[in-house]
Amino acid sequence: MKKCILSLLLISFALITHGQDIRINTYGGYVFKDRVDSYYSSNSYYNGQIQDGFRWGAGIEYLIPEKGGIELMYARQETNAPTTYLDGILTGGQLRRTNFDLNLNWLMLNGTRYFSINERLEPFAGLGVGMGIFSLTNPNSGNERSATKLAYSARGGINLWAMENVAIRIQASFFSAVQSVGGGFYFGTGGSGVGLTTYSSMFQFAFDGGLVFRLPGR
């Protein structure tokens, strides 16, 4: 994860030194709960819920005149995932419940189209693609799992320019990681977790706010 943040900083420095028209976007907002489940059979399944909470992040955006912007964005949420699961072999046929510690990291490349109404109001909409980097810890056993999955996102909102180079950003966003739970990323207590062969995708909705800092090119 340190490498991801370092890459973001290096790209930011490169754009600034080359005098490009760029923006620094900051994010903070509320993420809603999301249910994940998989039923392989009546004796092998899990059913859990990724809890709501706070997500923060930042991005650097290169502006293309009359076109929109391209942004490299990092976001992070620390939460829990209370889960009920059963596996006829690994759990001995016993129903188990665990409140897993879950960290979600998103590294996204976003394309955004701006629709300027006037110098103060700037609605926008955009799509993104990238990767979700997740880590899961069982607080009972101390076992940890991590996984990196293909991710995509969508968002829409408005920038309210309070000053020439500073705006308040308000948006609604959607993030998803395909096949993010299951397979190599297990909910389980043993060394190999619950070995289900089916998957559950993650769908997260959020309301975000933040500040936008415009750095004009030379």
Both tokens assigned to 169 = 């950003």
For residues 33 and 9, which has the higher predicted lDDT (pLDDT)? Answer: 33
SS3 content of the chain, % helix, strand, coil (to 5): 5, 65, 25
Q: Where is average pLDDT lowest: 39-53, 138-152, 192-206? A: 192-206
The domain ranges of the chain are: 2-215
- The pTM for the full model equals 0.81
Report pLDDT digits (tens) over 168-196.
Answer: 999 999 999 876 554 444 554 343 344 44
pLDDT of 203 = 87
**Nearest partner of 57 among 146, 173, 215, 163, judged by Cα:** 173
pLDDT of 46 = 75
Assigned CATH for 2-215:
2.40.160.20
pLDDT of 76 = 97
Contact 134/180 with Cβ under 8 angstroms?
yes
Q: Is the pLDDT of residue 146 over 70?
A: yes
pLDDT of 12 = 52
**Nearest partner of 86 among 201, 193, 198, 199, judged by Cα:** 193
